[in-house]
Amino acid sequence: MHITKASYLVSSPEVDKCPAADRPEYAFIGRSNVGKSSVINMICRNQKLAKTSRSPGKTQMINHFEISSVSREGDKDFFKWYLVDLPGYGFAKVSQSQRKQWEKMIENYLRKRENLVMVFVLVDSRHEPQKIDLDFVNQLGEWQIPFSLVFTKADKETQRLVSKNVKSFLDAMRQTWQFLPAHVVTSAVKMQGRDKLLGMISDMNKDLPK
Ligand code: GTP
Ligand code: MG
């Protein structure tokens, strides 16, 4: 699959204000500052598409990006889908009421958005399993929302430590999950994991009822 066009469409404060649910949608979520916007930019090969920041809490709304792709370079048959950048969880500097608002917005989005095919949950590959991430994936499980794991920032640590952290996360999930989700290790800096992510999205796009 080749992305031929990727552009910012709109930011929405709630699911009811999102664009028409007329094409497949893939959303990126995870802890604040984990690298969601960077992974979206890596996928689209455009560093300026989604706003990234050193300080956590940059992304506040439901951000839609319109993507056009073709199966093979030169094809004329475009396929259109959405990528969605969501605000992160676990940002310390928010009030209780802001956090409640975030939870409501995210729950509504995840449970009501009919065209949402897959949620990519981002996990920082530099750390051992964090309760906040495990709680979040368990919540997705309770809501029966399909997700895959994307381990981020793999360039920041040795491959050995990254592999160890990935294994520990999957082991922690095994305690409550019978089947483990697909996972991919990424580095937005090194463009690592891009082909695998695109392959996963491409396969899901193909499997959708026409
Ligand atoms: P919020 O929207 O604030 O929740 O953050 P986010 O999850 O969208 O993270 P963002 O993409 O803005 O990245 C946060 C910081 O981490 C930025 O300074 C990025 O440049 C850096 N970063 C993200 N991905 C990578 C990566 O793969 N490698 C390295 N070295 N830095 C990364
Ligand atoms: Mg962001």
Whether 4 contacts 70, CB under 8 Å = yes
- Statement: residue 110 has pLDDT above 90: yes
What confidence tier does 210 reach under pLDDT thresholds 50, 70, 90?
Answer: low
d(CA 199, CA 210): 19
- pLDDT of res. 195: 97
For 58-69, the DSSP string reads: ---SEEEEEEEE
65 DSSP β-pair partners: 8, 83
Residues near ion ligand 2 (CB < 5 Å) are: 36-37, 58-59
Distance of CA 86 to the CA centre of its chain: 8
The number of the ligand 1 atom at minimal distance from the alpha carbon of 56 is 3
What confidence tier does 58 reach under pLDDT thresholds 50, 70, 90?
Answer: low
- Residues contacting ligand 1 via CB (< 6 Å): 32-38, 52-54, 56-59, 88, 152-153, 155-156, 187-189
- Statement: residue 63 has pLDDT above 80: yes
Place of tokens 């709109």: 10
What confidence tier does 92 reach under pLDDT thresholds 50, 70, 90?
Answer: confident
Quick one: what percent of the chain has pLDDT higher than 90? Answer: 80
Place of tokens 């455009």: 46
Q: Cβ of 175: how many Cβ atoms within 10 Å? A: 7
d(CA 39, CA 193): 9
Interstrand relation of 62-70 and 25-30 (parallel, antiparallel or unpaired): unpaired
- pLDDT of res. 94: 78
Measuring from atom 23 of ligand 1, which residue has the nearest CA? 35
- Averaged pLDDT for residues 103-114: 96
Mean pLDDT of the chain: 94
145-163, pLDDT tens digit by residue? 999 999 999 999 999 999 9
Task: Determine the residue of 11, 37, 62 to mutate for testing ligand 1's pocket, defined as the one with the most ligand atoms within 8 A of the Cβ atom.
Answer: 37
- Statement: residue 10 has pLDDT above 80: yes
